[in-house]
Structures are given as C-alpha cells and as structure tokens.
Amino acid sequence: MIGFGMIVAVTLRLFLLSLGMSVDEVFRPAPLAISVTAGFVVGLLNYRLVSRVVRHRLHVVSARLLAARDDIASCVGTDSWEPLAPRYALPLYCEDEFGRTAAAFNYLLSALDSSQQAERDLRQSLIDQAKLAAMGTLTAGVAHETKNPLNFVVNFAELNLELCAELRDVANEDSADLVADLEANTAKITHHAQRALAVMATMLQVGRSHAGDAQPCQLNHIVEQSAALAEHSWRASHQGARCAIHLEFDDDEPVVRGFQGDLVQVMINLVMNGIEAASSTPDQVAEVHISVAHDDKWASVTVRDNGPGIDPETLRRIFEPFFTTKYHTGGTGLGLSISKNIVDNRHQGELGVTSEPGAGARFVVKLPLESVSAKTAAPA
C-alpha cells in the first residue's frame, strides 16, 4: 500500500512539473505527505474491494461444490436423481481464472447429469425388456393352453358338418330346415374357431423367440395380406362400422430379407391403429392409405390415416412400452413398442411417425432392400 501511495505521489509531482511549477513548490513536504497518504488510502480501498470480490467468488464456488457433493452422495445410482447443472452451475462473469474454473465445473456437472440420465435410461430399458419377456412368456403360455381346446372345437365342428351332410340325405321335408340351421350354425362355429386359432398362432409368434434365418419376403404380398386381415378383423369386431383401405403397390415388387410373420404383425398393427384412429372422428369414413415404394437402398411402406392426428406429447412417447392412450378400451401399450423392436432391431430398419393435430398420422416402415423382381422387362 505504501508503494502504491509513493507511485501516486511521484506521478502527481511529475504532472505538476510538466505544468511549469517550480521544484520547490512541487516537492514541499506537506503536499507530498498528503499525496502519499491519499495513495495509501486508495490502494487500501482497492485491496479491500478486490479481496472482498475474491472471497465472495471463492465462497460461491465452495458452497456450490459442497452442496453438489452432498447431493451426489445421496442420489447417485438412484431414481431420485435430479439434474445438477440447473441448480449448481456457477455464473460466468468473466474469462479469468475464476471464469475458466466455473466453466470447467459447469461442464463436469453437465457430464455427470448426462451419465446419470444414460444410466437411468438403461435401467428403465432393462426393466421394460424384463416386462416384455414376462409378457411374451405369459402370452405364449396362454396361447398354447387355448390352442388345444380350440382344435377340439374345430375338429368336432367339422365332424358335425359331415354328420349334417349324412343326415340331410335321410331327413324328410319337415326336418330339412332344422338340418340346414344346424349345418349353418356349425359352419359359423368352425369359421370363428379357426379365426381364434389364427389369433393364437399370432400370439405364439409374438411370445416365442424366433430362431432360424431370415427369408426373402415380397413386400407387396405382405402388405396385401396384412391389409386384408386387418380389415376383416375390424369389420368382424365393429359391425356396421365404415372403413376403407386404399393400397398402392410398387410395380417393381421390392424384396426384403426378414421374417414374414413378424412383418405381417407390424403391418396389421399399423393398419388397425390407423382405422381405429380414423374411426374416432364422428360422421367420417375411416380411411387408411398404404403405399409401397423403394429406392436404391431401402424399401418402405407408408401407412397414413385421416384421423385426428397425434398431439406432440403423445408423439414423443408413442413407442414407449406400456404407454397407451386407450386404457378405457383395454389398450396395453405394447403394439407399437413391439413393432418398433421388430423393424429396428430384428430387421435393421426404421419405424418412424409424423403427425400434426387434425391432419392424421403417417407411419413409415423402412427396410433394407434386397432386390426387385419387376414383372415387366425394360424395352430393348
């Protein structure tokens, strides 16, 4: 502080000399002492101010570090983790040592938040996979146990049809109508029991772990088959409901390598979801447009409906396992999750969705293209 005061005093004296004052006037003891004292006071105030700012910054850094340490110690590895950066990040006032230290501290907080979020996502993914595995085992068990009684129903219903045919040959005119009614009712039993068996077969496909190699699959054929099954299922369960499915095939007939049963399951799920969404709008015919296309690397199927669309929050979570907006109608939230797993993981493709409220939804299935088998050859 004394040195700072001396510098101020000498600087002031030199300034006075430059103004033309004499040496005796400039270096009189009393003014010199006053200048030294003033410099000392100014230096002391500056020191106190700087030290106060430094202590304040050190206190802020220390307090944030201690609070973050305690929070990390109590929450790391648990579901109660809350992001640290919004609560403990240090303000960046300047680019000096304190600023660089604060920036490094903030980076560490963000990195720790990211690692904890990744760990939480991984843990939730493992839980969801365990749920799906348990659901698959349960589904396969129920399907297997239900399949045997249904086989008996089908077999004995077909036997009754044969007996009805024999009975018609010996029946008189009075009992002919009764035999016809028995035959018609038995035919209905056979038809619906076979439908139930087809559902059980699908459930077994979902529940079991697929083995074997992928096979070439005609995408046009898969889409046509899936659309027919979905429309039939919808009309059977919604008597009088109006729906229309429009198909647009690729003339080059793209071929993908995969598991046909899985791909049929995906297409049926997307088409059924589209019909159900479109039918939720009153006084409107539910329409689903399905188109097949391809480029040099990918074959794609687009499923588009004329429903009310999907809100942004639902769109963000639509592929999460067990997430559904149809709890009141028995939705499980597994259909789209399983479909995305089939497309993205089992077939190395991509299942995506775009939608705007009021403009319907658009699902796109992209699969690696294996080949094309065009019906018509190029002209010579």
Give the up-direction half-sphere exposure of residue 23: CA atoms within 13 A in the CB hemisphere. 0
Which of 64, 95, 118 terminates a domain? The answer is: 118
Q: Which of 149-158, 173-182, 219-228, 368-377 has the lowest mean pLDDT?
A: 368-377
With CA atoms as reference, report the closest residue to 350 among 299, 288, 277.
299
**pLDDT value for 368:** 94
Dist. CA 81–CA 109, nearest whole Å? 13
Which of 78, 98, 118 terminates a domain? The answer is: 118
**pLDDT above 60 (res 371):** yes
Q: How far is CA 53 from CA 49, 63, 94, 237, in A?
A: 6, 15, 13, 75
pLDDT digits (tens, 9 = 90+) for 92-119: 767 777 678 778 878 887 887 788 777 7
**pLDDT value for 7:** 64
Q: In this structure, is residue 107 part of a structural domain? A: yes
Return the CATH number at 340: 3.30.565.10
Shared domain check, 326 and 245:
yes
Q: In this structure, is residue 299 part of a structural domain? A: yes
Here the tokens at position 127 are 């839980």
Q: In this structure, is residue 379 part of a structural domain? A: no
Question: Could you list the residue range(s) of the whole structural domain that residue 351 is in?
Answer: 215-372
Shared domain check, 69 and 16:
yes
Work out the average pLDDT over 134-144.
Answer: 71
**pLDDT above 90 (res 175):** no
Q: In this structure, is residue 20 part of a structural domain? A: yes
Compute φ and ψ for 226, nearest 5 degrees. Answer: -65, -40
The total of other beta-carbon atoms located within 10 Å of residue 328's CB is: 7
Q: What are the percentages of helix, strand and coil residues in the chain, rounded to 5?
A: 65, 15, 25
Going 72 to 78 to 80 to 85, the CA torsion angle's sign is positive
**pLDDT above 70 (res 203):** no
Work out the average pLDDT over 55-64.
Answer: 73
**pLDDT value for 379:** 40
pLDDT digits (tens, 9 = 90+) for 326-360: 655 556 677 888 889 889 988 999 999 999 888 88
**pLDDT above 70 (res 9):** no
Strand partners, 254: 372
Here the tokens at position 305 are 């409906």
Global confidence as pTM:
0.50
Shared domain check, 304 and 285:
yes
Query: Bigger pLDDT: 157 or 53?
Result: 157
Q: In this structure, is residue 320 part of a structural domain? A: yes
Shared domain check, 146 and 98:
no
**pLDDT above 50 (res 153):** yes
**pLDDT value for 127:** 72
Q: What percent of the chain has pLDDT over 70?
A: 73
With CA atoms as reference, report the closest residue to 315 among 283, 269, 361.
361
**pLDDT value for 377:** 37
**pLDDT value for 19:** 66
Do residues 233 and 188 make contact, with C-beta atoms less than 8 angstroms apart? no
Shared domain check, 40 and 76:
yes
Which of 95, 118, 141 terminates a domain? The answer is: 118
Shared domain check, 105 and 233:
no
Here the tokens at position 252 are 């080059």
Q: Which of 71-85, 145-159, 232-246, 272-286 has the lowest mean pLDDT?
A: 71-85
Q: How many structural domains compose the chain?
A: 3
Residue 29 pLDDT grade (very low, low, confident, very high; cuts 50, 70, 90): low
Dist. CA 377–CA 298, nearest whole Å? 21
Question: Which amino acid belongs to residue 180?
Answer: A
Shared domain check, 358 and 298:
yes
Here the tokens at position 90 are 């240090």
Q: H or E element: which one contains 312?
A: helix 312-317
**pLDDT value for 158:** 87
**pLDDT value for 378:** 39
Q: In this structure, is residue 343 part of a structural domain? A: yes
Dist. CA 26–CA 16, nearest whole Å? 7
Shared domain check, 284 and 366:
yes
Shared domain check, 278 and 249:
yes
Going 315 to 208 to 332 to 130, the CA torsion angle's sign is negative
Q: Is 366 left (phi over 0), alpha (psi -120 to 50) or beta?
A: beta
**pLDDT above 50 (res 163):** yes
Work out the average pLDDT over 31-38.
Answer: 62
Residue owning tokens 């240090």: 90
Q: In this structure, is residue 378 part of a structural domain? A: no
Judging by beta carbons within 10 Å of its beta carbon (0-12, 13-18, 19+), is residue 30 exposed, middle or buried?
Answer: exposed
Residue 303 pLDDT grade (very low, low, confident, very high; cuts 50, 70, 90): very high
**pLDDT value for 55:** 73
Residue 376 pLDDT grade (very low, low, confident, very high; cuts 50, 70, 90): very low
Do residues 121 and 108 make contact, with C-beta atoms less than 8 angstroms apart? no
The total of other beta-carbon atoms located within 10 Å of residue 26's CB is: 16
Shared domain check, 141 and 60:
no
Question: Which amino acid belongs to residue 83?
Answer: P
Mean pLDDT for all residues in the chain: 77
Q: Which of 158-167, 191-200, 350-359 has the lowest mean pLDDT?
A: 191-200
Q: In this structure, is residue 380 part of a structural domain? A: no
Shared domain check, 201 and 309:
no
Shared domain check, 151 and 73:
no
Q: What percent of the chain has pLDDT over 90?
A: 15
